Structure 1
């Protein structure tokens, strides 16, 4: 395998595991003042098709990820119509490879911890709308070894900013739009003690949520990921993301405080990296 392709492959694997900031329909609704929420996520993804420059280079690049997240949120309303929701996220999981990429092996570890401070605003003049801005910082606390092909820790700082607009079209229908950008720090201890740099990566998500009742909702939508091209020792890897995906989501409050969320999705297009055959989420949330 050529060195440049190998580095690009490693970066693609890193981009395919534990998505710490997964957004589900309803996540940008403001929580009541003083509410604490504990969440546990399980995410399973599977891929076998690997792309480079919009061309499939392997149909046997088997990548499977079993990932989890532990998340804690607390809501504060310092002034009317504004909710500030500080939170902490801890990802963990297991990644395995087979087929053409079996040389990368497997890993089980804890990922990088994430701190966030989403701010949500519902204007009096337009109560059908909710606006949100959510800054997050990822700390390089996860397990990392530059001699391994797979790592859950990235050995670099990241900053993520999400912007959201929710339009409550009708008591039963909500249109949700979320766009975010991830600014990556530098990893100076990449493979072979090389230096990894990465351009800003962007993502746009849009969902239509149908509220069957106050306890149950369904959603349909998808998103587009682009950018994030990397350099290794100042050599451009020609591996920018350009991925389009779709999802179906269901949410239900089993009790007034205990919520279950499920989603299933897949990639429809991947210009570089892995095209996910399936992306499933199961999330449990409890309001204190």
Structure 2
């Protein structure tokens, strides 16, 4: 790709690149929340507890939008992504903090010819994410919590400069910041509200040119219904916006405005092992690939 490529084609490439990185505690991309939280993520556990988590996620996309209009092209982008995550809870000066690391891996597959790119795929290990949450308000007696998080994505994952949008790694640094409020509305109903702000370094080898990106934001909400036997049902809503890109010095007019929903069922199948299944899809996409279907699985081990 050269900097003289038509803007519409470059825009589509940029959106494909964003979605190709769907990892998640959900999706790690400009098209969706960089760290798409799960219901219950912001309820702290006691100091000394460790969590090991393994995620599996599959998503398929066959439609591309530009400025809210469907683009008349054949398109197909599938992602099969895994995540390995370790979390440790500790007490620092009376505040619960949970340093953690998230390592994505998997496969990204472009199924149709897209501009000059032929159908191709890339697999491997992506950019690890390291960070922590600090619970500045921790009131289990009032059943409410406030957590502040900071994460950084380190660009050491698999990246092929000749496949710019079809990669597991992003070849750039990212900073991800979240603030969350959790409140029990009744004995069985819990509301989680999360705001996210993401900043991006430059990818200096995006198909031979530099890709820059404006800051992006996300709002996330989870409504949980607590069931007996340490189980719950939840409905989640994610709204991502911002993140306009510049490729080869050309502004792409590709600001994200995406809404999606996700349904969750989670249960402890043993005293220290939880299984979680999720399904959902995009509701509205202003620019980029529309996610037709998503299925997530998660296994959590407490030790």
Place the TM-score, normalised by the shorter chain, in its bin: over 0.9
Contact 1:29/1:130, CA 8 A, preserved across alignment: yes
- How far 1:99 moved relative to its partner? 3.0
Output one character per residue of 1:55-78: Cα deviation in whole Å (capped at 9) or x when no partner.
Answer: 100363111110000000000023
CA distance in 2, matches of 1:274, 1:239: 12
- How far 1:238 moved relative to its partner? 0.9
1:1-288 alignment, distance < 5 Å: 2-16=5-19, 17-18=22-23, 19-20=27-28, 21-58=35-72, 60-80=74-94, 82-101=95-114, 103-124=118-139, 127-149=142-164, 150-192=166-208, 194-213=209-228, 215-288=230-303
- How far 1:104 moved relative to its partner? 4.7
Question: Which deviates further from its counterpart, 15-24 or 209-218?
Answer: 15-24
Matched residue SS, 1:77: strand
Contact 2:139/2:145, CA 8 A, preserved across alignment: no
**Structure 2: 5+ residue runs without aligned partners?**
29-34
- How far 1:126 moved relative to its partner? 7.3
Output one character per residue of 1:15-37: Cα deviation in whole Å (capped at 9) or x when no partner.
Answer: 11322423110011101210111
Q: What TM-score, normalized to structure 1? A: 0.94
Contact 2:39/2:236, CA 8 A, preserved across alignment: no
CA distance in 1, matches of 2:224, 2:73: 35
Contact 1:142/1:152, CA 8 A, preserved across alignment: yes
- How far 1:232 moved relative to its partner? 1.3
Output one character per residue of 1:208-244: Cα deviation in whole Å (capped at 9) or x when no partner.
Answer: 1000125100001211110110001321011111101
Q: What TM-score, normalized to structure 2? A: 0.90
Contact 2:62/2:292, CA 8 A, preserved across alignment: yes
- How far 1:269 moved relative to its partner? 0.4
CA distance in 1, matches of 2:281, 2:73: 16
CA distance in 2, matches of 1:190, 1:14: 10
**Structure 1: 5+ residue runs without aligned partners?**
none
Shift of the 233–65 alpha-carbon distance from structure 1 to 2, 3 Å rule, reads same
CA distance in 2, matches of 1:158, 1:7: 21
RMSD: 1.8
Output one character per residue of 1:185-229: Cα deviation in whole Å (capped at 9) or x when no partner.
Answer: 01112212x111100111111111000125100001211110110
CA distance in 2, matches of 1:206, 1:78: 28
CA distance in 2, matches of 1:63, 1:103: 12
- How far 1:118 moved relative to its partner? 0.9
Question: Which deviates further from its counterpart, 7-16 or 238-247?
Answer: 7-16
CA distance in 1, matches of 2:180, 2:229: 22
